[in-house]
Amino acid sequence: IPGNPRFPERDNEWVDERVKEKELLVEWLEDFKSKLGEYEEAAATIQECEMALDRFKQVVDSVRVPLLIQNARNARRADGSCLEYGLEFHLKGMASMLEKGIPGDPRFPERDNEWIEKITASKELLVQWLEDFKSSYNQYQEAWATIDECERILQTYSAVVDKIKIPLEIQNAVNARKADGSVLEYGLKYHLDHFSAALEKGLPQNPRFPERDNEWMNARAKDRDCLIEWLEGFKAKYQQYEQARETISTCEDLLDKYRTVTDPYRVPLLIQNARNARKAQGSCLEYGLDYHLRSFHSALEKGIPGDKRFPERDNEWITERAKERDALVQWLETFKSEYGQYPIASTTIEEVETALQL
């Protein structure tokens, strides 16, 4: 074999030529044996050919496997390899990146993610190349040095990347916004700060704008639901890692605070909503409980018209009061079924029952 490092392609050309010559010789010898093999005069020719084939095995086979291994190492993507510029270039690039390490510049945090993505992509390509290489040459001792070389760089990758990859993924999850696929509009920190500040302020409780209490409760419930959804996804991926525990604890503490702050308001507000609800909102009372009770009391205080000129008005009055009573009974039954177990509801129940006794 030429063995000139300046022209490595000549080694492959030389082996290819010898293989072609060997195949031609084998073909010729088989034909020769089939026609003249039984003659004693042919023995010397057969022996000469077989000696040449033995010589081929000694010379070519000893260099063929190392040459195939070198070809595999040198192969580029244009040659069918998964590595753009061959194994040597790929290993040097990975070793350089791993030696320099993650950028870690707080001014440009996105560079850390770019570094992780790039080195991980390089690792995956090397794993793919190594699996293909092993499947072809693992049985040859000459391939073991290449396999060891690749496995050493993969071990270095694990030692360098694994210890920073999970913390970086956790930070990415914390920073992710809705535009990045998160359920939180502006990331976890913004959501926690906004949620906590709203809970600190508490329910508006402005009697001029009672609807604001419901808006506040609905907004906080939405904040809670978004945080729970985010936390469940986060825990599913990172709960087993120590680096995630502080984030999980912070979220769970705020959810506990939500319950502590809102629970005292929740039932009284639901009861007030039930009292205020009109027919348009699903109640059986046209304008809510307070209006219905005032109208009912006022009509009862005035009493039956008793005008002999218009006796039909007495019947109308009775019919209207019966309707108002039936609507009140229906409302009370619904209210009791939903809130009767809460002591705070007893005032409303007594108020309605008193009206029904009039």
What integer pLDDT is reported at residue 69 of this predicted model? 92
**pLDDT of 8 higher than 80:** no
Chain centroid, CA 251 distance in Å: 18
Cβ distance 105 to 111 under 8 Å? yes
Q: What would the two tokens of residue 243 be?
A: 């680096």
Element (H, E) at 215: helix 211-238
What integer pLDDT is reported at residue 210 of this predicted model? 83
Q: How confident is the model at residue 110 (pLDDT cuts 50, 70, 90)?
A: confident
What integer pLDDT is reported at residue 21 of this predicted model? 94
With DSSP H G I counted as helix, E B as strand and the rest as coil, what are the percentages for the chain, rounded to 5? 80, 0, 20
What integer pLDDT is reported at residue 189 of this predicted model? 97
Average confidence (pLDDT) over 193-201? 97
Q: How confident is the model at residue 182 (pLDDT cuts 50, 70, 90)?
A: very high
DSSP readout, 125-179? HHHHHHHHHHHHHTTSGGGHHHHHHHHHHHHHHHHHHHHHHHHHHHHHHHH--GG
What is the C-alpha separation between 276 and 270, in angstroms, rounded?
10
What integer pLDDT is reported at residue 259 of this predicted model? 95
Calculate the alpha carbon distances from 107 to 110, 118, 176, 348 in Å: 9, 20, 17, 60
Average pLDDT, the chain: 93
Q: How confident is the model at residue 319 (pLDDT cuts 50, 70, 90)?
A: very high
**pLDDT of 104 higher than 90:** no
What integer pLDDT is reported at residue 117 of this predicted model? 93
pTM, two decimal places: 0.62
Smallest CA-to-CA distance from 76 within 40, 129, 18 is with 129
Longest CA–CA separation in the chain, Å: 153
In three-state secondary structure terms, 310 is coil
Q: How confident is the model at residue 358 (pLDDT cuts 50, 70, 90)?
A: confident
Contacting residues for 165 by C-beta, under 8 A, at least 6 apart: 116, 120
Q: What would the two tokens of residue 177 be?
A: 């916004």
**pLDDT of 302 higher than 80:** yes
- Model confidence pLDDT, tens digit, residues 219-266: 999 999 999 999 999 999 999 999 999 999 999 999 999 999 999 998
On the CB side of 59, CA atoms within 13 Å amount to 14
What is the C-alpha separation between 16 and 19, in angstroms, rounded?
5
- Model confidence pLDDT, tens digit, residues 115-170: 999 999 999 999 999 999 999 999 999 999 999 999 999 999 999 998 898 999 99
- Model confidence pLDDT, tens digit, residues 14-30: 888 988 999 999 999 99
How many residues would you count in the chain?
A: 358
Query: E strands, the chain, where?
Result: none
- Model confidence pLDDT, tens digit, residues 47-92: 999 999 999 888 887 788 888 998 999 999 999 999 999 999 999 9
Q: What would the two tokens of residue 24 be?
A: 């031609």
Q: How confident is the model at residue 9 (pLDDT cuts 50, 70, 90)?
A: confident
What integer pLDDT is reported at residue 159 of this predicted model? 93
Average confidence (pLDDT) over 9-14? 83
What is the C-alpha separation between 283 and 314, in angstroms, rounded?
28
Give the count of beta carbons closer than 10 Å to the beta carbon of residue 68: 17
What integer pLDDT is reported at residue 52 of this predicted model? 94
What is the C-alpha separation between 346 and 352, in angstroms, rounded?
10
